[in-house]
Amino acid sequence: MAPVRQLLLTALIVTSTIVQAQQEITVKGIVAGGDGEHTFYDLMIVNRRTRSGTFANTDGSFSTRALSTDTLLVGAGGYVTRTVDAIRGA
């Protein structure tokens, strides 16, 4: 059995204006490998609370809506799924 490859998140940029804790925000980011050279386009980004998601673009970028308190799941087949706080990106 091949070892499970790990997905490293090198950049997750949160752009929003937060007025209150439960306001919906737009989360935008780029998912790249640990070397910063390889982007991942076959990823799915899922909001854990709503169970809705989106796929990353061919350059590894994505955009989704979430509450500032939500957790996003970032994963792809053959990789370890990572959890990311929507507001902090970690």
Task: Report yes or no on whether pTM surpasses 0.85.
Answer: no
pLDDT at 3: 45
Predicted confidence at residue 59, as pLDDT, reads 86
Which residue has tokens 């990572």?
Answer: 82
Q: Name 62's bridge partners.
A: 29
Query: Residue 67: helix, strand or coil by DSSP?
Result: strand
Where are the domains positioned within the chain?
14-18+26-85
Q: Which CATH number fits domain 14-18+26-85: 1.20.58, 2.60.40, 2.60.20, 1.20.120?
A: 2.60.40
Nearest residue to 70 via CA among 84, 80, 82, 81: 84
Q: What is the pLDDT of residue 82?
A: 87
**Ordered mean pLDDT values, 10 residues apiece, the chain (90 residues):** 45 42 81 74 89 90 90 87 78
What is the reported pLDDT for 46? 93
CA 58/CA 81 separation, integer angstroms: 19
* pLDDT value, residue 89: 58
